Chain A
Amino acid sequence: MTEKKLQVSAIQNGTVIDHIPADKLFNVINILGLNKIKNQITFGTNLESKKMGLKAIIKLSDVFFADNEINKIALVAPEAKLNIVKDYQVVEKKIVEVPDNITGIAKCGNPKCITNHEGIITKFQVVNKKKVALRCHYCEKITDSEHMEIF
C-alpha cells in the first residue's frame, strides 16, 4: 500500500480556512467573494473531522484577509480556524470572532421589513454573539440564528 495522500494539497503562501461546517462551504465562498477573485483556490468538503463530523476547508494562494473581512464568516462558520501560510509553514493561527455589526450578509427575518421590499443593503447590530442574534438597523426586529438566511 502507498502512503495516504493529503486530501487537499498544500499551498506555498496564503490562507487556509479550516473547520467550516460542510454545508456552509458555499456560504463562506459567497461571503468572502471568492467566486470573483483570480487567485488559485482549492477547496474540499465533506471531509472527515473528529471534532465536527464533516467539515470543509478552503486553501487560498496569496490571499490574506483583514480581520474585519474574515470575521464576517463567523455568522455561518463560528468555529472556523485560519492558518496563515508563508513558504509552506504556518506562521500564524487565528480564530474568527463574531463582529459587532453586520452589513449586507444576512437577510432580515421580518417579512414586513423595508429591506425585504426595496433593494437596500441590510445592516444589523449583533445583540448576542454566543447564540447569534441580530437586530435590524431598519425595523429594529431581532433575527435569531435559527431563522437567519444568508445571501
Chain B
Amino acid sequence: MKNKNLVSITDFSKDEVFKILDLAEEFEKNPNQNLLQGKVIATLFFEPSTRTRLSFESAISRLGGKYIGFTDAGSSSVKKGESLKDTIMTVANYSDMIIMRNPIEGSARWASEVSKVPIVNAGDGANQHPTQTLLDLYSIRKTQGTLDNLNVFFVGDLKYGRTVHSLLQAMSMFNTTYNFISPEELRIPDEYKMFLDKKGLKYYEHLDFSDIISHADIIYMTRIQRERFSDPMEYEKTKNSYVLKKNMLEKTKLNMKVLHPLPRVNEISTDVDTDEKAYYFTQALNGVYTRQAIITSILGLK
C-alpha cells in the first residue's frame, strides 16, 4: 500500500480495507509510538473542519511526527489566486504526505495526479471522505465483531450526506441489508439505489423508523440541515420524525449501536449519550487509530 493515494473509498480493495482495520486495532492497544520521527506531514484545510483536522493532527502527534499547514483558505496563498496545482506542487516539496480538505469536488483526485507525495483526501465537497468511512467500518467491526450480513439503518439526510454514500459503497462488500429512513425531500439518490441493485443487495426506504427499529444492528444517524429543504414548513413538519430518543432504544437488539459522524445538533437526544448503545464519541476516538493506520501504511512504515 506504500505511496498509494487515498482519494476515494473505492480505491481500496477489501484486503486493503482489512489491513487498515487490523492496523488500527494495533494502534488502539498502543497509540503512542515513534514511527513518524523525522517525518513532516502537510495538513491543508481549504475549509475549516475542526474534528477531522484535530483527529489527524492527534494521530500524527502520537506517532512522533510533525505537521505543517493551514486551517482555512483565508490564511493560505489561495487568497492570492494561486491554483491548487501550484499549491500542491509547492507543498509536496516540504512534506512526506499531504492531507487535504477542500470544498471543490474532485480536487483530491487532481491533487494526487500532480503531487509527488501521497495524497489523503480529508473530504472534497459532497464527493468523498474516505478516512471517515474507514473509521466507520472500524467502529462497526469492533462493536459487531464482523462486517458481514449486518442490517444497517441510515437515518436523516441521505441525499446530501456524503458519509452515508461512501459507507453504503464500502458496506456493499459485506452482504449488508440497508434501511434508508429519510424525509421525502432527502431520499437516497437513484444512482446509489442503482448501485445496490447491480450488486443484488437488499434495501428498503421508509419515512419513519420507530416501528422497524428492532431489526437494526447499526443505526447511522446524520444531521438534517434546515437549508436543505425548499419548503421550510416541510422541515418543521418532519424534523421530529428523525430524532432518536432514549425510549426508542428499549426495543432494539442488544448488540445494536448508534453511530453518528458528528457534529450532532438535535437528531440524537442528549439522554441517549449515557446509554451503552450510544457509540458516537468512541467512534470519534476510533478516528485517531484509523488515521494512524492510514498514514503509516501509506508511508510504508507498517
Contacts and interface: CB of A to CB of B under 8 A. Distances in A.
A128 to B, nearest CB: 10
A132 interface: no
B192 to A, nearest CB: 11
A120 to B, nearest CB: 6
Interface stretch (B122-130, B231-239, B246-254, B276-284): B122-130
Interface residues of A, number: 16
Interface string A110-149: 1011110110100000000000000011111110000000
Nearest to A138: B106
Contacts of A113: 104-106
Contacts of B124: 139
A110 B127 CA distance: 11
B125 A112 contact: yes
A136 B126 CA distance: 14
Query: What secondary structure prevails in chain A residues at the interface with B?
Result: loop
Interface string B94-114: 000000000111110110000
A114 B84 contact: yes
Interface residues of B, number: 17
Given A112-B125, A114-B84, A118-B83, A139 B106 contact: yes
B85 interface: yes
A114 B107 contact: yes
Nearest to A140: B127
Contacts of A110: 105
Contact of A138 (B83, B103, B110, B191): B110
Given A114-B84, A114-B110, A140 B104 contact: no
A149 to B, nearest CB: 17
A64 B105 CA distance: 39
B8 interface: yes
A115 B106 contact: yes
B179 to A, nearest CB: 25
A112 B84 contact: no
Given A139-B127, A140-B8, A142-B191, A120 B104 contact: no
B168 to A, nearest CB: 14
14 contacts: A108-B106, A112-B103, A112-B125, A112-B126, A113-B104, A114-B105, A114-B106, A114-B110, A118-B110, A137-B106, A139-B125, A140-B105, A140-B127, A140-B128
* The 7 residue pairs across chains A and B that have the minimum distance between CB atoms: A138-B106, A139-B106, A139-B105, A114-B106, A114-B107, A138-B109, A112-B105
Given A110-B105, A112-B105, A141-B105, 17 more contacts: A108-B106, A112-B125, A112-B126, A113-B104, A113-B106, A114-B84, A114-B107, A115-B106, A117-B84, A117-B104, A136-B106, A138-B105, A139-B124, A139-B125, A140-B8, A140-B106, A142-B191
